[in-house]
Amino acid sequence: MVDSGTTLLEAAQTETAKVVSLKDQDPYQKSSSQQGLSQPHAQTDHSAFNSNATSYGGWIAGAIVLLWATSFSLFMRLDITQFPAWLVALAALWQTLLYTGLFITAHDAMHGSVCPQNPKLNQAIGSFCTVSYGLFSYKELLRKHQLHHRYPASDRDPDFHDGIHKHPVAWYLYFMGQYWQWQRAFGLASVFILANLALHIPVSNLLIFWVLPSLLSSIQLFYFGTFLTHREPHTGYSTPQRAQSTSLPIFWSLVTCYHFGYHHEHHEFPHLPWWRLPTARKVPRLNG
């Protein structure tokens, strides 16, 4: 239902105006018909999006980056011999969650939703996050993510399997292979060695709080954000988005992958940041 005094048409027009205002920041919104991006398969009540919540994107992104940087710095200096193994493992899982948040923030920057009013700051935050996550090129990830949204779950989608590697393990390895670069591997190895020799960070800390969390987060992102959401249903794909959402409560949706499991909603409303996807999931499709 639309709030009193506001017609559905006015609500939709308000949301459309917001989307138009994001065109310069979000390459997915510039020409969705030309890019082949999936469009909503059903008429949708947009009134739930009539807010200025997108202005909070920069603050939320900043909080995630600050938490990650603070946690990373503390863990690099931590004497893990003074703590029980279960607590060290819990700290590694915490760092994994923050690494996932770092990548999700970069992902939202690619959609222009971190700082929609400031494209340069939006790109700067996205670039910082991709480099911090694993020395990735923001522009290269953006190019591949554009392909993912133009041709979801197809042979032109760099995140999709090749028709042979459908098993989750095989698909994950194939998926990671699409982003493998020897130069980046050399860069990561160099940073690891310099951190140990020049900054005197113990190898154990680097492995437990850097290498392991980044690898675990890649598995987390793949499993909850690609495999579960883009694998073909037994009955075949039923929407242009070729994506489905996982039916998890909001808390577990947040913990598993920052609501990235609400993936149909993400493809239907790619300009929405991760923290607004639960709202999008509640929006009724008016014609079914």
pLDDT tens readout for residues 154-196: 999 999 998 898 999 999 999 999 999 999 999 999 999 999 9
Decide if 12 is inside a domain. no
Residue 283's pLDDT band (boundaries 50, 70, 90)? confident
Decide if 148 is inside a domain. yes
Residue 273's pLDDT band (boundaries 50, 70, 90)? very high
pLDDT per position as a tens digit, 105-118: 999 999 999 999 99
Decide if 132 is inside a domain. yes
pTM: 0.81
Give the residue from 23, 15, 27 showing the smallest Cα distance to 52.
15
Decide if 7 is inside a domain. no
Query: What's the whole-number mean pLDDT along residues 91-102?
Result: 98
- Measured CA distances, 103 to 23, 67, 179, 235 (Å): 22, 13, 14, 32
What gap in Å lies between CA 215 and CA 208, rounded to an integer? Answer: 11
pLDDT top residue among 159 and 25: 159
Q: At a CB cut-off of 8 Å and minimum separation 6, what does 30 contact?
A: 23
Would you state the pLDDT for residue 284?
66
Decide if 21 is inside a domain. no
Q: From the centroid of its chain, how far is CA 275?
A: 11
Decide if 227 is inside a domain. yes
User: What count of other Cβ atoms lies within 10 Å of the Cβ of residue 58?
Assistant: 17
Is residue 188 within 8 Å of 243, Cβ to Cβ?
A: no
Residue 226's pLDDT band (boundaries 50, 70, 90)? very high
Residue 30's pLDDT band (boundaries 50, 70, 90)? very low
Is pLDDT at 43 greater than 50 in this prediction? no
pLDDT per position as a tens digit, 45-95: 444 454 444 568 899 999 999 999 999 999 999 999 999 999 999 999 999
Q: What is the DSSP string of 22-74?
A: TTTT-GGGT-HHHHT----SS-B-GGGG-SSGGGGHHHHHHHHHHHHHHHHHH
Domains contained in the chain, number: 1
Percent of the chain with pLDDT over 90: 70
Is residue 246 within 8 Å of 224, Cβ to Cβ?
A: yes
The mean of the pLDDT values for the chain is 84
Q: What is the DSSP string of 242-269?
A: --------HHHHHHHHTTTT-HHHHHHS
What gap in Å lies between CA 221 and CA 176, rounded to an integer? Answer: 11
Query: What's the whole-number mean pLDDT along residues 5-22?
Result: 40
Residue 241's pLDDT band (boundaries 50, 70, 90)? confident
Q: At a CB cut-off of 8 Å and minimum separation 6, what does 280 contact?
A: 48, 49, 262, 265, 268, 269, 272
Decide if 97 is inside a domain. yes
Q: Which range marks the domain in which residue 215 is found? A: 45-282
Q: If DSSP codes are grouped into helix, strand and coil, which group holds residue 285?
A: strand
Is pLDDT at 17 greater than 50 in this prediction? no
Is pLDDT at 246 greater than 70 in this prediction? yes
Would you state the pLDDT for residue 122?
96
Decide if 14 is inside a domain. no
